Structure 1
């Protein structure tokens, strides 16, 4: 069963995370489905704008930790599997049409990374967004550091990633991560209004501008951020990572030794 839905209505397409019973925790299969949906939009000339949103109270709590514990053990295969997040991020960024992410509740870890790959972010008031990887003893991967730093700058990127804290959408609006705030009941309408605004503009010009800005802003990303998967492999084999996961599952404070 796919937990990613793809719909079109007129000029607007929606990619919807649909695993609300697990707070839309992401799996490798969901990332693959997101990548496929993004690639399919290249062949949809009638679609002029895209909304990425989610069912339920939360946008997504990031990668499913239960799946992370079942990842394949041979390093060569683990490295390929771990690279799926970056492939999905790249596919979303390369969607020709403008992409608006609608964020409610919590968006953390990989979910915040996916939001950063979109062109614009509309968040419900009271939403909280963060990058919690450090609390699991691992680095931020998926080549997500580049998009984040371009949105909020180096100091605030460090603050978000190094603390692992969830930050209110209102604060992230001031920092530049969130483009627009909406009342929770109006989030879908606000995202749709933004999508309709861009859908009404000449598509060739809009899409050329998007591609040029993205190419200029992310020109160095592949040269610098390609190693984040290998950094993750190192961190994921550490004793601190194992302790962090056990502490999370046992709902206790971790005891970290730098090993």
Structure 2
């Protein structure tokens, strides 16, 4: 009679504490060792089971050499030791929830971290390459011109190409600083192949004594191919690049990726 009252009270407490939760397989297994009622269902006692006893009696612990005491609160979960750890939840998942395995991206090597740290802490002048789209508004061009002007005033050597838009703004800013020795313009093709709207500014570059490099061997190539070669040449001359691009600027994004592969510092500004 005492065992029946204990079982009934245990069932009531479990129902109040757990609501309509289904008992876990571990709880059913533990209850089978003593023949208890779990979640409103009677579990027959398994004579050969040593899963333990309930209602305040010691149960086996997953910790070696220890046993734990359980209060008959909720048989749907036997206690903290029966709950999966954070690591187990990640590896094995929880319950019947779908498990999604993701491969973590390979972290940068220690050498790459050190190279970036040294480059950031290097306060001296640098060779900086400017790249960017031809299609940008007047306000963006003004900001780039100011940035180029400030870079030259702080003794940085500026490398850029000769197109309109970003390149033209960079050239104007560098010329304003009146340090032609700190400006190098690399053309993807010969001077004659440059658009008319760029040639006037390029003539100013020549008149100030700034260095201008032409690539007449690329005159037979498409502008895209010649520009790609030109960008690679600029990357080889600098420690850092600053790029202004849109998300669909294929050549510029490829240039940034190439610079990163060559361990250059890359600062990329998206205009959209």
Which TM-score tier does this pair reach, normalised by the shorter chain? Answer: under 0.3
Scaled by the length of structure 1, what TM-score is found?
0.28
**Structure with a larger share of its residues in helix:** 1
Which structure has the larger Rg over C-alpha atoms?
2
Higher relative contact order structure (alpha carbons within 8 Å, sequence separation ≥ 6): 1
